[in-house]
Structure 1
Amino acid sequence: MLERKQLKGRTKVTFVLAENAPAGPVSVVGDFNDWTPGAHTLQPRGDGTRAVTVALAPQSAHSFRYLAAGDYWFDEESADGHDGTNGLLHT
């Protein structure tokens, strides 16, 4: 799930997954962090989910995917679209 919050000059996007689906560490990787695994690792929240927030420029478009343990790549079902390989996000 994606949560968005508009701020002055930025859009905060929070990437949210169930706490144990998939098991192990998961990071969101995309063009906003040079596709660097571990740069934005999801952390547990009190509501049984895990999340990470990234501040992005407003009115911009980004490609991203999730990367879990064991080199398991997967997509966000609620992404704004898909380009055949990556999820798309519009701020």
Structure 2
Amino acid sequence: MSIRKQFLKSKPVCKVTFKIPKEIENAETLAHVVGDFNDWSTSATPMKRLKNGGFSVTVDLETGRPYQFRYLIGKESWENDPDADGYVPTPFGDSQNSIISL
């Protein structure tokens, strides 16, 4: 998995590209990035399937704060990003959310 940040000079926004490689288990059908930037909606930010079999999506996020997120792969598999800036426990106490700091 990978995260790419592109900070814009003209406004306080960062274009963040989230990528999932094709090797991730259960990634053969669909994937979403889910986080506090989309109110944890499991359908608001679908990832586009790439020709190589992976998934990618770019979102514009306001700079100056951290965001929590996870990947929903298929309909039930939750994954963190090993390239995240950090991790915090979920409110449910059984796992962690990835953090991206902008």
Paired positions, count: 91
**Contact 1:10-1:55 within 8 A present in 2 as well:** yes
| RMSD after superposition | 1.5
TM-score by structure 2 length?
0.80
Gaps of 5+ in 2: 90-95
**Seq. identity, %:** 32
TM-score by structure 1 length?
0.89
Match of 2:12 in 1: 9
Query: Which is greater in Rg?
Result: 2
State the Cα deviation string for residues 31-74 of structure 1 (Å, max 9, x = none): 00000012111112345532101111112111000111131111
Gaps of 5+ in 1: none
**1: CA distance, partners of 2:76 / 2:68:** 18
**1: CA distance, partners of 2:5 / 2:52:** 18
Match of 1:51 in 2: 56
**1: CA distance, partners of 2:28 / 2:54:** 12
| 1:61 counterpart letter in structure 2 | P
| 1:15 counterpart letter in structure 2 | F
